[in-house]
Structure 1
Amino acid sequence: MRFLFIVFFVVVSLLALLLPFTVTFEPAETEYSETTGLPPVPKIGVYDALPDFSQFTDVNEKKLEFFSYLLPLIEAENLRILHSRSKLLEIEENFKANMLNDADRRQLAQLMDYYEVDPSLSNEQVFAVLKRRVDVVPEMMVLMQAANESAWGTSRFARRGLNLFGQWCYREGCGIVPNQRPEGQVYEVAKFDSVNQSVRSYMRNINTHPPYMDLRLLRERKRARDEELRAIELVEGLGSYSERGDEYIEELQSMIRVNRPLVMEVKQQMAAQLGDKPQTAN
């Protein structure tokens, strides 16, 4: 049975390699259990254009508009990830009880594909890696990196490519060539069809790419201790995101401290519109 599963996964992976390259990564369509206790993932419209954030002369007004624009996308994507994580834990329990069904196997294969898990690992290792990867990225971390990398939504890459996080791609024509790209380099700054795709791709990068293993390990340890996942602590694992290393981390932490009250203001406004109680900005 395990041999057939590996063959199936390899075939799916080969087919994926033969498809045209794209910087857009769509998650697996997962059948979610109705017993998770999680709210449904809200239907977010396609954000295919950025507001002109450069029009705001008041700094706080610009920040509030930026957070108001981006926060619903981040919350929806994190909720989608939580649904995937809940389903993963359910599948793991079924595996331990020797009760895996075809739907479980199909959804597990989809998660392994999306989160780039080596199919040659043992079943126990597969679940361990997936639990480390299928998890939320604190919204304050997403917001501050987006603000930092896109100059609050005004950079050339943000305006022309809807790329808020400085993500790269490596096929000619896949993005925008940086003006200061060193000679001999082939990377481009990726272009996206929507800001939704930019946010989703960024979160997938954080959750799969080897340079961010430190962040995932920090998050895993906090999960094991049932501690809150706080951005100001988890950004310690982003040393590889920028050539500035520790300086970059300290800058993000400073931005989190300064901007948390503004993000809470936006969250309170959003909650008031929905009639909900606002949650703490993490």
Structure 2
Amino acid sequence: MRIVTIILFIVLCIAALLTPWFIPKEPAKEEDASVVAHLPPIPEVKTQTTMPEFSAMTDVSEKKESFFRFLLPMVEAENIRILHERAYLKDVYNRYKEGNLTAEDQQKIDEWIDYYRLEEDIEVDDNLFGLLKRRMDIIPEMMVLVQAANESGWGTSRFSRMGLNLFGQWCYVRGCGLVPKGREEDGRHEVAKFDSVNDSVKSYMRNINTHGAYLDLRLLREQKRLENEAITASDLIVGLESYSERGVEYIEELRAMIRINRPIVNEVRQQLDTEASSEAAPQ
């Protein structure tokens, strides 16, 4: 009997040691690990409070390269910031589904509701998170860059030089911007002034992500996400028809600008990446 007991004890010990290897572990849920861990850090970009003298550049290629080199880091930084917010939104949604929203989460939700221009009294439910997810997403860099070039005359317009407004954005409070010379007598709008070009970029991207005129663009982008496809300027540009009174003609002009200037932007991006790598390398 004693021998049987000893054998049974040994068997139980061996089983205890081997159990962790044979019992299948539940795979980690994707939402358990924040997507932020897989994102690059938000880069620190210089706050640009003046515009370069693009009008003094007579060489077209030099002007284009300088314009993209000036603007691209700001666009990239804002897109990365949005991706971090989007990842945070996913974490908050997971806690909401589990019934574990924190006070900090609720404060963040309130900030998102305000920033993404949703109704103040909107209920915190799946619909709210769906709306935020649709609006809280990147704008393709090429789209931002060519629109800025088009609307600002490659950084030479009065509004870009005096108001740091590269996108022709309007405002409606007296003194909020610069009065367009062609404005009708009963007109109220002004072309907004910004404290920095960075603010102009952020405001433009917020406008695209919230204004009703660009809902089709956001729906198309959302569909691209669902199908796991790349979000490109060439695809989303059709959603900008309301941006200009010129409509389809405006879209075709932007398409041509994308096609012509993409090689220049790619070269500038490579240059910036090489310079960043060199600065990060140990001396």
Task: Please report the TM-score for the alignment, with normalisation by the length of structure 1.
Answer: 0.84
Contact residue 36 and residue 86 of structure 1 kept, 8 A: no
Contact residue 167 and residue 189 of structure 1 kept, 8 A: yes
Alignment partner, residue 140 of structure 2 = 138
| Unaligned stretches of 5+ residues in structure 1 | 1-32, 277-282
Which runs of structure 2 are paired with 1:105-116 in the superposition (5 Å)? 105-116=106-117
Alignment partner, residue 39 of structure 1 = 40
Q: Could you tell me how far 1:37 is from its partner in structure 2? A: 1.5
**Amino acid corresponding to residue 260 of structure 2 in structure 1:** V
- 3-state DSSP class of the match of 1:189? strand
> Aligned residues, how many?
244
Q: Which has the larger radius of gyration?
A: 2
Q: Provide the rounded CA distance (Å) in 2 between the counterparts of 1:103 and 1:37.
A: 23
Alignment partner, residue 272 of structure 1 = 274
Alignment partner, residue 12 of structure 2 = none
Q: Provide the rounded CA distance (Å) in 1 between the counterparts of 2:219 and 2:41.
A: 28
Tell me which of 226, 229, 232 is aligned to 1:230.
Answer: 232
Alignment partner, residue 251 of structure 1 = 253
Q: Are positions 1:207 and 2:205 aligned together?
A: no
Q: Provide the rounded CA distance (Å) in 1 between the counterparts of 2:57 and 2:129.
A: 47
Q: Provide the rounded CA distance (Å) in 1 between the counterparts of 2:75 and 2:122.
A: 33
| Unaligned stretches of 5+ residues in structure 2 | 1-33, 279-283
Alignment partner, residue 263 of structure 1 = 265
**Amino acid corresponding to residue 155 of structure 1 in structure 2:** S
Task: Please report the TM-score for the alignment, with normalisation by the length of structure 2.
Answer: 0.84
- 3-state DSSP class of the match of 1:238? helix
- 3-state DSSP class of the match of 1:135? coil
- Decide whether aligned partners of structure 1 residues 266 and 120 sit closer, same or farther in structure 2, where only a CA change above 3 A counts: same
- Decide whether aligned partners of structure 1 residues 35 and 136 sit closer, same or farther in structure 2, where only a CA change above 3 A counts: closer
Q: CA offsets, 1:90-127, max 9 Å, x none?
A: 11111112221222111111111111122324511100
Alignment partner, residue 93 of structure 2 = 92
Amino-acid identity (%): 55
- 3-state DSSP class of the match of 1:171? coil
Contact residue 84 and residue 134 of structure 1 kept, 8 A: yes
Alignment partner, residue 125 of structure 1 = 127
Q: Provide the rounded CA distance (Å) in 1 between the counterparts of 2:35 and 2:218.
A: 28
- 3-state DSSP class of the match of 1:240? helix
Q: Provide the rounded CA distance (Å) in 2 between the counterparts of 1:180 and 1:228.
A: 40
- 3-state DSSP class of the match of 1:203? helix
Q: Provide the rounded CA distance (Å) in 1 between the counterparts of 2:146 and 2:97.
A: 40
